[in-house]
Amino acid sequence: AQIIQHAADMNLNTVLLPLSWEDFEPTESIFRYNLLEAMLKCAGKHELRLVVLWFGAFKNAVSSYAPAWVKLNQERFPRVVDQQQNPTHTLSPFSTQTRHADARAFSAMMRHLRTHDVNNTVIIVQVENEAGILNATRDHSQKANTEFVGQVPNQLIKTVQALSASQPDHEFSTNWRDSGQHVSGDWTKVVGKSADEAFMAWHLGQYVEYGASQGRSEHSIPLYVNAWIQAGPGYLPGESPSGGPIAKVINIWRTGAPSIDLIAPDIYEQDFKAICRDYHDKLNPPCIPEAKCDEYAASRFLYAIGHHNAIGFSPFGFEDMAGLSNSLPEVYETVAHLMPVISQAQREGRIGALLHLSESDSDSVSISSIRFTGQTRNAIPMASALIIGLGENEFYVLARGMTLTFTGHSENREQLAILDLFSGTVDNGKFSATRRLNGDES
């Protein structure tokens, strides 16, 4: 209740809240709906939407949120085994028993939403959380080893072939060619050096697909998975979760888990622009369920929705932001009033954004017939601007620490100046001017 109240006070419109398997099914086959009901009731009171995060077998690449009756029965619910044959703290995705038990609980939760969430408070559900395995390149359990030396599924081979044609420099494309471009064989023969990570991505995708498809049969709302981002070039699978839905295995996950609608990055790294770019294509509008929660969150938010048409942006741990010098609540409130305008501009390609990761950055964006160039103002780090084209030579601008200059594209429109400039508010898409600006004020 306190978290949802705080969200309403910060002008958020949606709250992401976890529901763990251990809380939902503390005793096998006995489901507790009290926490889910409380989430629905509190969100409804404040007219907020919910995203339910299902913490099942996987949470941050370990299985700490599984029920005690699962954790204590390793014969029935085996763990991932590392290269030295040591069991880890992560449940093996190769276990049929684990897959069925996880899916049964997830389906019960989805069925309850179908019958009790009459106001459609829950708009999307996250299946598992940052799936993958740490401290091992792949699962080396007996069942996993048997699968690893078995035939690569034809679906996956076709995916690798398509990837090689569309992205010849992709790591998997290169390793497939170097391995001889085989169209049959075991994982090492077909995928070469990428075998371990491709193997885990396929089987984790298949694990998630089973639960997602079972849940979707109970309640047809959007489903997504989130990714613990690979830390950087040179990192090996297992240093960040091997097989998790990072950018380079998105194609494998899409093939293996067709019931998943979105693959979403959790972005805590500094290169925010590059990660957004990696997850933005026609099949995957960016949704950022976890973002670094600091004084620059508002700037990242404006860039994500303006440059990448993001449909969600959630600073992790927003309830602990007290004391941070940031304008996120103000920006959220302004964007909330602008949502009808933003949605239309996203559809019609009349929106853009700039983000400066350092004081020396300078870049431009073109909207309609105008090119806007941003310069960081007063040495403010992480400056940003969101620009929305309304019509011929008319724009809305939201900016944080950035000065904009503008030029025309054609040679005869080099000299451009502001005709009218107003600050004001927008309510349901209608602008109300509160002040005319000019000179220094602009």
Tell me what pLDDT residue 133 has: 95
The per-residue pLDDT for 137 is: 94
Per DSSP bridges, beta strands 49-59 and 79-81 are: unpaired
pLDDT value, residue 129: 98
In this predicted structure, what is the pLDDT of residue 434?
Answer: 94
- Do residues 253 and 201 touch, judged by C-beta distance below 8 A? yes
Q: What is the pLDDT of residue 293?
A: 87
Q: What is the DSSP code string of 391-405?
A: ETTEEEEEEESEEEE
Q: How many whole angstroms separate alpha carbon 384 and alpha carbon 367?
A: 16
**Distance from C-alpha of 412 to C-alpha of 17, rounded to nearest angstrom:** 54
Write the CB contacts of 180 (distance below 8 Å, at least 6 apart in sequence). Answer: 189
pLDDT for the residue numbered 251? 93
Tokens of 320: 């602990």
Task: Return the DSSP state at 152.
Answer: P
Give me the pLDDT at residue 352, please: 96
**442 residues of the chain, pLDDT tens digit each:** 999 998 998 889 999 999 999 999 999 999 999 999 999 999 999 999 999 999 999 999 999 999 999 999 999 999 999 999 999 999 999 999 999 999 999 999 999 999 999 999 999 999 999 999 999 999 999 999 999 999 999 999 999 999 999 999 999 999 999 999 999 999 999 999 999 999 999 999 999 999 999 999 999 999 999 999 987 777 788 888 999 999 989 999 999 999 999 999 999 977 899 899 888 877 777 899 999 988 889 999 999 999 999 999 999 988 877 655 567 888 898 898 899 899 999 999 999 999 987 767 778 999 988 999 998 877 677 889 999 999 888 999 998 888 898 888 666 556 788 899 999 988 877 899 999 998 888 8
Name 420's Cβ contacts closer than 8 Å, sequence gap at least 6.
Answer: 436
- Contacts of residue 437, defined as CB under 8 A and 6 or more positions apart, other chains included, come to 421, 422, 423
Number of Cβ within a 10 Å radius of residue 423: 12
Q: For residue 242, report the phi and psi dihedrals to the nearest 5 degrees.
A: -70, 130
In whole angstroms, how large is the CA radius of gyration of the chain?
24
Distances (CA, A) of 440 to 132, 387, 403, 437: 54, 21, 12, 8
Going from the C-alpha of 401 to that of each of 130, 284, 304, the distances in angstroms are: 34, 30, 17
Handedness of CA 414, 420, 422, 425 (dihedral sign): negative
Query: What are the tokens at 199?
Result: 């193997």
**Distance between CA atoms of residues 368 and 79, nearest Å:** 56
Helix 328-348 vs helix 297-307: angle between axes, to the nearest 10 degrees? 10
Q: Where are the alpha helices (DSSP H) in 68-220?
A: 68-71, 96-116, 142-148, 154-166, 171-178, 187-191, 195-218
Residue 252 confidence (pLDDT) = 95
pTM for the model: 0.93
